[in-house]
Structure 1
Amino acid sequence: MLETPPGTLGVFNDAWGGYLQDIGFFGPDQGKGGKYLVLPPDYQSEIPDGYFVVPSKTYRVLSYIRAFIAEGLEAVTQYIKDQLRIYPLCQKDNPPEMEFISGSGKSFNTIFPNDYTFYEHLHRVIDGEHIGILDPETRGFFASIGIEKGKPFAPDDRMKQILTDAIKIANATARSIVWFPRTKGTMQGIQIYPDTDSAWQMLYVDKNVFFNGQDGQTMNYDAWAMFYYPYVGVTPAQAVGLPGRGSDYAIAYIDSEKNPFDGSKTYQLHLPPDPPVENFWDLTLYDNQTRSMLQTSQAFPTVGSQTEGLQKNDDGSYDIYFGPDPPRRV
């Protein structure tokens, strides 16, 4: 059970990263808040009335919710604490008290292994999940290297070496797709400004969050890797440019000269006046090795329209600089 307050934006994904249901403005509650009931695979019991039902093909479900901070961070934090509730269906008549844990200021690893142990991790996930997490074809691919639900994963030394080489190749392939996508091939539709050959990219090829091609029937696995290698959490609301409701993303992995960003250099981003947003815009920096937020002495690797003291140019535009030291002229 998840009770969400009004005025939020969120989503449910299954354990394989598949989209299940939106929460908030693009969900069935339409931004008014409501009670969501997430059901596991093969659920056979009675479904009570009064809930937005979210069936899942996996036992584990990812959900995240965004609340807006126009009234201040402390105010919205308290707003969420007062109204957000998560509890088992069997405790709906007497929900336990919520415990909220802040992740701010804490260090934790969000990166999958980049060596042979990745396959051990994958086996643990598949072994602990409902068999429906994978379609038969994908399940067969994993079975061919010894990963099957209900069976031990015990590759010999030869297979371990093959898998060690495979994860290196896969890692390099995914990075190549992300940093230098084939915009005249499988990744056509990822560029925001294709006529200028700009480095700015969208979050999804053709804003297709299901990765199933222009015909809706053909999987584009380059587009699939383009998203799932650096990101997590799929929702159509991430590809809807409606001010005040949806969210949209512009992403750059390389600079204007088509070189990967270098942390020892200083870069300038010019933002024209009057960005087409209602609630906020921001610029966030990520580490190109960990795909996580950049860790520096600065508390948060982001600046935006809600940043206190952000300087605006006379014409209403902004010049944002990022690098090891502030430019002398700023």
Structure 2
Amino acid sequence: MSALRGAGLCIALSIGCVGGAKSQATDLESQLAYQRGIEAVIWSMPAISIREFQEAAFKDYGITWNDVVLFSKPAIPKQELLTANNQVPYVLTMLNLRQGPVVVEIPPEGAKAQLFGSFVDNWQAPIVDVGPSGEDEGRGAKYLFLPPGYSEPIPDGYLPVRMEGYVVAGALRPVPANGGTAEEAHAYAQEMKVYSLADAPAPKPTRFVDGYAKPYHSLPAYDASWFHELAAMVNEEPVRERDKVMMGMLASIGIERGKPFKPDAKMQKALDAALVDARRIMQNYFETPNRALSPWWPGSQWGGPSLGTIRVANGFTFETDDALWIDARAGLFYWATFAPKKLGGGTFYLMDLRDSAGQLFDGQATYRLRVPAVVPAKDFWSAIVYDMDSKAFVCAGPCDTADNVVGLSSFDKPAMKQNSDGSVDLYFGPKAPPGFEKNWVPTAGRSFFLIFRLYGPEKALFDKSWKMPDVEKVP
């Protein structure tokens, strides 16, 4: 029998027979739904995450479009946010451009406070940075967010921001400056204004709601709601050229523009399995060295965004001339939100998932980090523990009522026990080592990872003449 005739017989008798191999799938429809479901979850990771963030704000805080959530104090565990900071309060706002352009007024840099932050689209692609490190360079501006296809003349005095989608989210931080206080920064943040362009002649006062007062359940929900949220997003936002292939694939799992999403029991079972494994794939990407993160110093466990991520990030849009890099995009937005347009301006993140021996952190064990006496951060530094499962603050008890310490910073250093050379040992574990209660952050027995933030990062970090020691497991 010729090779060609043998190949034809293989196709005729057993689809999937390649070089003697046979298909393992017995239910091809379910197999296709499972595979397409995995791709849909990874593709939609940033969009569903920011959508959950927005919808939780509406539900938990009772806000609507153009309102502002202004935290009166830094977030604590009951505010369930992806890798939030615990040193500076947040300012959050959500815009919807379906009814026309929306204006966001950022005040000029104050004598005692500044606003730093970014606005992102419905895919979490950063659209514009604001404040001293943003487009206005601290001079303040009236940012005018324009809906897709907007062609009307732009009024004088505005900084136009053209959008490809209708939904915009903003996250900012009011930071004290020149000896200013947290109270002064909070008051300064209330100079921000949000209103529709149609109301510009006489805008209504912006509504501010305290985000610290209540629990905030903003984390992505890895359950059956994922695909329902995806179906809603597909019907509410314009389809971009880059996403047309995925739109065709989504039809095979019942998600199409203009049609209700009503999966039957068989489809739902396949999609449930797909969601579980998509999350496992993203977690593996997060944990595997040189995928999401790469060592900042050779041989170090401390890392920053991987070279592969930086190569394709393209301003954190992950869209280049020849590809949309959905794995790298999901690899970032699986654990983060609100990436800035410009990296490393006001804050730099060092991340650590492993101890000095290369083992993932175990929430039942105790670890020590020796922070050098001098850290290249002109403002301050902080070290925060995050739950490996949720990517939010570790909760000691139910998150809705938890108020445990989640991190330590250079502001806490005077109260800590210090070493003779000025360095300080931070401890992470289920119990505080005797005598080091002020140096300890609880892990509540949860697997965890660390982020060390440098506010106002200096040259020694970037030229790598300064190095952070690895975290050591305490015997």
Task: Look up the SS of the partner of 2:383 in the other structure.
Answer: strand
**C-alpha deviations, 1:163-216, integer Å up to 9, x for none?**
1111111010000110123x2xxx2872212x21x3222145464543688x87
Q: Kindly indicate whether residue 189 of structure 2 is the aligned counterpart of residue 89 of structure 1.
A: no
Matches of 1:132 and 1:88, distance apart in 2? 25
Check whether the contact 1:58–1:132 (CA below 8 A) recurs between aligned residues: no
User: Given the superposition, is the C-alpha separation of residues 42 and 220 from structure 1 closer, same or farther in structure 2, using an over 3 Å criterion?
Assistant: closer
Higher strand share: 2
Task: Name which of 190, 202, 208 aligns with 2:294.
Answer: 190
**Which aligned pairs between 1:95-114 and structure 2 lie closer than 5 A?**
95-114=203-222
Structure-1 residue corresponding to 2:92: none
Structure-2 residue corresponding to 1:286: 386
User: Given the superposition, is the C-alpha separation of residues 134 and 97 from structure 1 closer, same or farther in structure 2, using an over 3 Å criterion?
Assistant: farther
Q: CA deviation at 1:157?
A: 2.1
**Which aligned pairs between 1:61-80 and structure 2 lie closer than 5 A?**
61-69=168-176, 71-80=180-189
Structure-1 residue corresponding to 2:143: 36
Q: Kindly indicate whether residue 412 of structure 2 is the aligned counterpart of residue 307 of structure 1.
A: yes
**Which aligned pairs between 1:134-173 and structure 2 lie closer than 5 A?**
135-173=243-281
Task: Look up the SS of the partner of 1:96 in the other structure.
Answer: coil
Task: Look up the SS of the partner of 2:352 in the other structure.
Answer: coil
Task: Name which of 19, 23, 26 aligns with 2:130.
Answer: 23
Q: CA deviation at 1:12?
A: 1.3
**C-alpha deviations, 1:286-326, integer Å up to 9, x for none?**
22121112223545512212337443433232221222322
> Alpha carbon RMSD of aligned pairs, Å?
2.6
Q: CA deviation at 1:132?
A: 3.7
TM-score of the aligned structures, taking structure 2 as reference length: 0.62
User: Given the superposition, is the C-alpha separation of residues 283 and 289 from structure 1 closer, same or farther in structure 2, using an over 3 Å criterion?
Assistant: same
Task: Name which of 353, 358, 368 aligns with 1:253.
Answer: 353
Check whether the contact 2:117–2:130 (CA below 8 A) recurs between aligned residues: yes
Task: Look up the SS of the partner of 1:101 in the other structure.
Answer: strand
Paired amino acid for 1:10: G
**C-alpha deviations, 1:224-272, integer Å up to 9, x for none?**
22201111112233x32xxxx4321111123333333233332211111
Task: Look up the SS of the partner of 2:217 in the other structure.
Answer: coil
Q: CA deviation at 1:24?
A: 1.7
Check whether the contact 2:148–2:162 (CA below 8 A) recurs between aligned residues: yes
Matches of 2:357 and 2:403, distance apart in 1? 27
**Which aligned pairs between 1:261-272 and structure 2 lie closer than 5 A?**
261-272=361-372
Paired amino acid for 2:194: I
Matches of 1:170 and 1:299, distance apart in 2? 31
Structure-1 residue corresponding to 2:105: 3
Matches of 2:234 and 2:286, distance apart in 1? 26
Structure-1 residue corresponding to 2:374: 274
User: Given the superposition, is the C-alpha separation of residues 85 and 306 from structure 1 closer, same or farther in structure 2, using an over 3 Å criterion?
Assistant: farther
Paired amino acid for 2:282: A
Paired amino acid for 2:258: G
Check whether the contact 2:234–2:256 (CA below 8 A) recurs between aligned residues: yes
Check whether the contact 1:12–1:61 (CA below 8 A) recurs between aligned residues: yes
Check whether the contact 2:394–2:406 (CA below 8 A) recurs between aligned residues: yes
Matches of 2:212 and 2:143, distance apart in 1? 27
Check whether the contact 1:57–1:133 (CA below 8 A) recurs between aligned residues: no
Task: Name which of 283, 301, 319 aligns with 1:199.
Answer: 301
Q: Kindly indicate whether residue 242 of structure 2 is the aligned counterpart of residue 131 of structure 1.
A: no
TM-score of the aligned structures, taking structure 1 as reference length: 0.87
Matches of 2:412 and 2:213, distance apart in 1? 19
Comparing 101-110 with 27-36, greater Cα deviation is found at 101-110
Identity percentage of aligned residues: 29
User: Given the superposition, is the C-alpha separation of residues 234 and 125 from structure 1 closer, same or farther in structure 2, using an over 3 Å criterion?
Assistant: same
User: Given the superposition, is the C-alpha separation of residues 256 and 288 from structure 1 closer, same or farther in structure 2, using an over 3 Å criterion?
Assistant: same
Matches of 1:161 and 1:76, distance apart in 2? 50
Task: Look up the SS of the partner of 1:224 in the other structure.
Answer: helix
Q: Kindly indicate whether residue 332 of structure 2 is the aligned counterpart of residue 224 of structure 1.
A: no
Paired amino acid for 2:269: Q
Q: Kindly indicate whether residue 120 of structure 2 is the aligned counterpart of residue 13 of structure 1.
A: yes
Higher helix share: 2
Q: Kindly indicate whether residue 429 of structure 2 is the aligned counterpart of residue 327 of structure 1.
A: no
**C-alpha deviations, 1:137-161, integer Å up to 9, x for none?**
2322322322122211122222211
> Which protein has greater RCO, CA pairs closer than 8 Å, 6+ apart?
2
Task: Look up the SS of the partner of 1:280 in the other structure.
Answer: strand
Matches of 1:54 and 1:48, distance apart in 2? 13
In structure 1, the gaps of 5 or more residues are none
Paired amino acid for 1:125: M
Name the count of aligned residue pairs. 318
Structure-2 residue corresponding to 1:117: 225
User: Given the superposition, is the C-alpha separation of residues 233 and 212 from structure 1 closer, same or farther in structure 2, using an over 3 Å criterion?
Assistant: closer
Paired amino acid for 2:238: H
